[in-house]
């Protein structure tokens, strides 16, 4: 590692990354373009003509120009990757929060840019395919009386079709990016060099882009069939292009059932998605590459970039990730660096390295423990108050409990671009309400604006966040009668007095109906997604897993490698911290939905590793304790820990966990 101070390093990494990434993507672009040209011009019966046409096309000036445009697209995609990627996924707790994320201004800009880029790519594709797709206006004969009518420009619907498809695919890419957490970057369980990893992932990317393109083509064809008329007339009226009535319109069944059109749509869509996915893939590969930090340095000016210092870094999240990953790797693979961790400082003889590393890991783990305990308390208090079935109490209790759910370790839990050393500012202030960190969606002004039709005094205000109450939604509505005792009054109880006035009956029932319908929609929107809160609690657990691995392997290695006994002093702390965390995790998995497995994702580019991080954390925790207990064996009896913890560790010694 060069002698670069950590501050500049934090800037250099993204810059170097971006340059490398763009270079790779641009280099790969002509290859994919050539494949695209070959496929789009494919003709089975004239192979020689096909090849010669393609070679002449590849060297034509229009193709070169298209390539330049595509390079621009790749450049912007790379920029967006860099800006949007996150190591801690934002997990919306309800559909409303998801909707809020999709409608967020930042996301809107993203969608708009992707729509434009999709149109650009599709324009390049249609120019490359040529033939009937090449231009927006084509000469045609207007409707006249004689043959001497001048030739006018008509709208080429095929071209328009492809352009709109590009915009549609751009939007769906942007939309799915939010829904599937496309910008979440997860770390692989194993380390690989970049090229083999790229090679290994390439088939997956091709498969994903083909599948995604097929889906998009289907959806777009359906959309165009129903609403294709509107953009067509709009374009033709703005650009004063006529619609050639002699041609079959495309928004009809016969027009759409054109095999070559659908083929070209799919091929171009695949090309489009492949360009984007490839950039995402390259970005992931580059960003998750492991770094190696020196454990200690002989020069004081380099001390800032040594592992203990970087571990304590709270500003740049990505540095913390890299440092913990490096810790986990060195604890398993590198004897010499482990010895550096265990050594004493000169002069003074203090184990500064080990102390700093263990302190940092332990604080991470105890922070997770506190987070879990707070969550359990919140759930437990909700449950207790709910049993009293007094909605006013529920309101205050659930509000206060959501308020008191502590957000410890804020620097780790803030979503967004992690290279920004300061995560405050407009962006985080705006996205934070949509992330599950703030349990109550109502605490956010943005959401309140979104549901403006609902005044905050409404009976179900504040109670919607409890899934238990939500399930009894229709009953709760009656609470608006004012009596909190009658929460189970059925609806007809309310309608009976109204019946006395016959002229009001129709009116009222219509109101009730519309209100209920609204409520169903709102219930649907605000209902908590199962598992989401559990996923959100463990969203950043990759660092905890690395901390566990690093700690346990270091402690196990210290059994034979630690000459000065530096680990012995912290061993009781470490053991009790692990056992306390284990108890918290065990209790968490007893909560409803916590132990249900998410469905396996089929083939999608979005990374869903975050959905299973809690299982990974549990496994890593148990393995870590086992690693220590099997290494130390009977010697653990000499360690000074409390009786309950010793009992629990005895279970591990007997392999009964």
Partner 1 sequence: MRSAGAWRDAGLYGLLDEITNSAEEVPRFLAVGSACVLALLRWASSFHGSLFPHLTLSSDEMVAEFSQMLDWSDSALRSFAWHPHTDKFAVALLDDSIRIYKSNSSATPTLKHRCQRSVCALQWKPLCGSALAVACQSCLLIWHVDPTSLSTRPSSGCAQVLSHPGHSPITSIAWSPTGSLLVSASPVDTAMMVWDVAAESAVPLQRVGGGGVTYLSWSPDGSRLLAATPSALFRVWETRMWTCERWPCLKGSCQVRKLRKLSITVFELMYAFIYFFKLTFFSQTSWDPRGERLAVLLKVIAVFKTRSSPVFELLPCGFVMGEAGAEPRFMQFHPHFQHGALLTVCWSDGRISHVPFYFSSAGLLGGDSPQQALASNTADHSSNKLYTEQIS
Q: How far is 256 from 110, CA to CA, in rounded Å?
A: 30
Residues 530-569 that bind partner 1 (CB under 8 A): 549, 553
Binding segment toward partner 1, per CB under 8 A, in 191-199, 226-234, 384-392, 464-472 = 191-199
Nearer to partner 1, 59 or 560 (CB): 560
Angstrom CA distances, 195 to 24, 77, 231, 326, stand at 11, 21, 45, 21
Interior CA angle at 168 toward 163 and 171, to 5°?
130
Question: Which x/- pattern over 198-217 shows residues binding partner 1 (rule: CB under 8 A)?
Answer: -xx-----------------
Label residue 416 left, alpha or beta by phi (over 0 means left) and psi (-120 to 50 means alpha). Answer: left
Q: Does 657 bind partner 1 (CB under 8 A)?
A: yes
Nearer to partner 1, 190 or 253 (CB): 190
Count of CB atoms situated within 10 Å of the CB of 207? 11
Q: Does 196 bind partner 1 (CB under 8 A)?
A: yes
Q: Does 45 bind partner 1 (CB under 8 A)?
A: no
Interior CA angle at 93 toward 92 and 95, to 5°?
75
Q: Does 44 bind partner 1 (CB under 8 A)?
A: no
Nearer to partner 1, 267 or 537 (CB): 537
Question: Which x/- pattern over 102-141 shows residues binding partner 1 (rule: CB under 8 A)?
Answer: ----------------------------------------
Q: Which of 344, 626, 639, 646 binds partner 1 (CB under 8 A)?
A: 626
For the record, the structure tokens of 440 come out as 């109550």
Q: Which of 45, 145, 299, 655 binds partner 1 (CB under 8 A)?
A: 655
Q: Does 428 bind partner 1 (CB under 8 A)?
A: no
Label residue 633 left, alpha or beta by phi (over 0 means left) and psi (-120 to 50 means alpha). Answer: left
| Rg over CA atoms, the chain | 31
Q: Which of 164, 447, 613, 641 binds partner 1 (CB under 8 A)?
A: 613
CA 428 to chain centroid, in Å, comes to 16
Nearer to partner 1, 332 or 444 (CB): 332
Binding segment toward partner 1, per CB under 8 A, in 119-127, 195-203, 245-253, 377-385 = 195-203
Binding segment toward partner 1, per CB under 8 A, in 27-35, 164-172, 527-535, 608-616 = 608-616
Binding segment toward partner 1, per CB under 8 A, in 60-68, 303-311, 403-411, 625-633 = 625-633
Binding segment toward partner 1, per CB under 8 A, in 92-100, 168-176, 372-380, 610-618 = 610-618
Q: How far is 525 from 476, CA to CA, in rounded Å?
A: 17
For the record, the structure tokens of 254 come out as 């016969």
- Transcribe 432-492 into DSSP letters: GGGSTTS--GGG-HHHHHHTTTS-TTSTTTTTTT-HHHHHTHHHHGGGGGS-GGGTT--HH
Under 8 Å between Cβ of 617 and 534: no
Q: How far is 376 from 360, CA to CA, in rounded Å?
A: 25
Residues 315-354 that bind partner 1 (CB under 8 A): 329, 332-333
Q: How far is the CB of 528 from partner 1 (least distance, A)?
A: 24
Residues within the interface to partner 1 (CB under 8 A):
188-193, 196, 199-200, 329, 332-333, 549, 553, 597, 600, 609, 612-613, 615-616, 618-620, 622-623, 626-627, 630, 652, 654-657
């Amino acid at each position: 590692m060069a002698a670069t101070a950590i501050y500049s390093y934090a800037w250099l990494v993204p810059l170097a990354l971006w340059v490398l990434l763009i270079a790779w993507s641009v280099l790969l672009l002509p290859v994919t373009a050539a494949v695209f040209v070959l496929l789009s011009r494919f003709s089975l019966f004239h192979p020689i003509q096909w090849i010669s046409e393609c070679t002449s096309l590849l060297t034509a000036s229009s193709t070169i120009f298209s390539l330049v445009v595509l390079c621009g697209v790749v450049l912007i995609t790379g920029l967006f990757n860099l800006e949007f990627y996150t190591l801690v996924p934002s997990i919306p707790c309800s559909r409303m929060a998801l909707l809020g994320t999709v409608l967020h201004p930042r996301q809107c800009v993203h969608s708009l840019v992707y729509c434009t880029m999709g149109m650009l790519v599709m324009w390049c594709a249609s120019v490359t395919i040529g033939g009937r797709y090449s231009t927006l206006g084509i000469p045609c004969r207007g409707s006249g009386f004689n043959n001497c009518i001048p030739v006018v420009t008509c709208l080429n619907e095929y071209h328009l079709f492809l352009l709109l498809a590009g915009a549609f695919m751009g939007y769906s890419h942007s939309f799915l990016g939010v829904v599937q957490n496309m910008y979440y970057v997860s770390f692989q369980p194993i380390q690989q060099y970049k090229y083999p990893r790229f090679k290994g992932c390439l088939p997956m990317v091709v498969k994903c882009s083909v599948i995604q393109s097929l889906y998009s083509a289907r959806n777009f064809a359906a959309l165009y069939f129903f609403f294709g008329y509107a953009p067509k007339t709009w374009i033709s009226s703005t650009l004063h292009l006529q619609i050639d009535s002699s041609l079959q319109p495309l928004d009809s069944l016969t027009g759409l059932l054109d095999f070559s059109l659908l083929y070209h749509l799919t091929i171009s869509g695949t090309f489009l998605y492949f360009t984007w996915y490839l950039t995402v893939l390259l970005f992931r590969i580059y960003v998750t590459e492991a770094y190696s930090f020196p454990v200690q340095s002989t020069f004081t000016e380099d001390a800032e970039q040594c592992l203990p210092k970087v571990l304590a870094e709270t500003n740049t999240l990505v540095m913390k990730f890299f440092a913990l990953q490096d810790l986990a790797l060195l604890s398993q693979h590198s004897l010499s660096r482990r010895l550096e961790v265990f050594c004493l400082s000169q002069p003074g003889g203090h184990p500064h390295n080990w102390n700093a590393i263990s302190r940092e890991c332990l604080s991470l783990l105890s922070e997770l423990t506190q987070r879990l305990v707070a969550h359990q308390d919140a759930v437990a208090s909700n449950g207790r108050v709910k049993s009293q079935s007094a909605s006013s109490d529920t309101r205050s209790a659930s509000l206060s409990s959501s308020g008191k759910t502590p957000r410890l370790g804020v620097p780790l839990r803030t979503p967004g671009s992690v290279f920004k050393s300061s995560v405050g500012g407009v962006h985080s202030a705006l996205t934070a309400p949509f992330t599950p960190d703030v349990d109550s969606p109502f605490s956010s002004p943005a959401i309140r604006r979104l549901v403006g039709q609902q005044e905050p005094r409404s009976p179900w205000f504040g109670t919607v966040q409890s899934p238990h109450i939500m399930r009894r939604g229709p009953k709760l509505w009656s609470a608006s009668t004012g009596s909190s005792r009658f929460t189970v009054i059925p609806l007809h109880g309310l309608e009976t007095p109204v019946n006395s006035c016959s002229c009001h009956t129709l009116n009222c029932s219509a109101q009730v109906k519309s209100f209920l319908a609204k409520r169903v929609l709102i219930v649907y929107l605000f209902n908590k997604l199962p598992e989401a809160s559990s996923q959100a609690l463990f969203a950043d657990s990759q660092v905890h897993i690395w901390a566990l691995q690093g700690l346990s392997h270091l402690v196990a290695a210290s059994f034979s490698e630690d000459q000065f006994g530096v680990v012995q002093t912290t061993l009781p702390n470490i053991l009790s911290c692990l056992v306390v965390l284990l108890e918290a995790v065990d209790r968490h998995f007893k909560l409803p939905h916590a132990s249900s497995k998410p469905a396996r994702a089929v083939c999608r580019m979005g990374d869903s590793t975050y959905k299973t991080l809690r299982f990974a954390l549990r496994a890593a925790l148990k393995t870590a304790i086992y690693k220590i207990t099997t290494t130390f064996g009977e010697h653990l009896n000499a360690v000074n820990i409390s009786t309950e913890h010793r009992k629990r560790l005895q279970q591990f010694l007997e392999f009964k966990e």
